[in-house]
Amino acid sequence: MDTGPNRLIIDGFSCFFVKFSLSKFVWFDGKFVPSSKAQVPVTTHAIHYGTSIFEGIRAYWDSKNLFVFRLDDHIKRFRNSGKYYSISLNFSNKQVANAIINLCKKNKMKRSCYIRPFYFVGQYGINLHVTEKAPTNLAIFMFPFGDLFDKKGITAGISSWRKFSGSSTPTQAKMGGNYLNSIIATQESKRNGYDEAILLDKKGNLSEAPGENIFLVKNEELITPPLSSSALKGITRDTVFELAKDSGYEVSIREISRSELYVADEVFLSGTAAEITPIIRVDRQKVGTGKMGKITKELMSDYTDVVMNRNEKYSHWLSAVY
């Protein structure tokens, strides 16, 4: 039952979902193509084996211009993700950046939006020996986008599924196949009535959420898991580091036990889609006062100032479209 633009009732539980209207044009292997014409064969290797690499990028409209946030950093990670699997991105970083900027222009986008570039192994049969010479395709699409979650705060449950470790597959690669782990954790959290899941690493320490990094606040210190806990080296995570430092807060990167969640003063998620989102309940227990905390609120405000081009110190993170 559809109850609005961003909420769905499933098995009696209310949950947020992403509902979007795809832009008129997509960019596909160097050309602008109507979205209805951007198609691939059913024999595409990535459909069968998850051999796709993606990025999530945001652009923000400030009533005068559209600013793509940390475009160069996203493209660098985009290329590096493929290197783990010897999958080639057959366009330069500059070509990818220009494609994204020009796609915004082609679609006359003058609203805050989400941009999804991805490249994938194409016609390669059922061969598992993927090499740099395997044929790949690059596509980019976009759509207007607002809040992924309720910014007043969400609930989260610790998943029984563990985050995969670097001993199984590279944790820093944003590969399509890797996110099956996120999907099964999300499914479990929704069945249990939560807005989001929290995954533990193979040792039982905090790792991250299905699509976001996680931070705890205790005694005005920010704490987040290390990469060795299978946490992604998030671009928004790095942004939080900088904003916290500007405000004089200490940030610690260390292993975090599950029990620390229950006594944290504040908990929040960071990610391109989620931006900065407070968690107000974990496993049905209140976090702090059960409302958004002071530091989370401050960081959310500072983050908005940066992406809306109201903080000159970080203007170099913004790529103007018009």
Q: Distance (Å, rounded) from C-alpha 254 to C-alpha 250? A: 13
Q: What is the mean pLDDT of residues 209-228?
A: 98
Q: How confident is the model at residue 19 (pLDDT cuts 50, 70, 90)?
A: low
**CA–CA distances in Å: residue 273 to residues 59, 114, 148, 313:** 11, 8, 6, 23
Average pLDDT, the chain: 94
pLDDT in tens, 39-90: 999 999 999 999 999 999 999 999 999 999 999 999 999 999 999 999 999 9
Q: Distance (Å, rounded) from C-alpha 210 to C-alpha 184? A: 9
Domain boundaries, the chain: 21-144, 154-307
pTM for the model stands at 0.92
Structure tokens at 45: 């290797």
Rg, Å, the chain Cα set: 20
Question: Is 190 a catalytic site residue?
Answer: no
pLDDT in tens, 86-121: 999 999 999 999 999 999 999 999 999 999 999 999
Q: Distance (Å, rounded) from C-alpha 246 to C-alpha 310? A: 15
**pLDDT at residue 6 above 60?**
no
Structure tokens at 91: 């366009």
Domain 21-144 fold = D-amino Acid Aminotransferase; Chain A, domain 1 (3.30.470)
pLDDT in tens, 241-286: 999 999 999 999 999 999 999 999 999 999 999 999 999 999 999 9
Q: What is the mean pLDDT of residues 296-314?
A: 98
From the candidates 152, 174, 294, 297, give the one annotated as an active-site residue.
Answer: 174
Phi and psi angles of residue 95, each rounded to the nearest 5 degrees, phi first? -65, -40
- pLDDT, position 22: 87
Could you please report the per-residue DSSP string of 83-130? HTTT----S-HHHHHHHHHHHHHHTT--S-EEEEEEEEE-B-TT----
Phi and psi angles of residue 282, each rounded to the nearest 5 degrees, phi first? -125, 125
> Pairing between strand 213-218 and 206-208?
unpaired
Q: How many CA atoms lie within 13 A of 203 on its CB side?
A: 13
What architecture is domain 154-307? Alpha-Beta Barrel (3.20)
Q: How confident is the model at residue 124 (pLDDT cuts 50, 70, 90)?
A: very high
Structure tokens at 170: 């590279």
The residues near 287 (Cβ < 8 Å, ≥ 6 apart) are 261, 264, 265, 266, 267, 279, 280, 281, 293
- pLDDT, position 185: 98
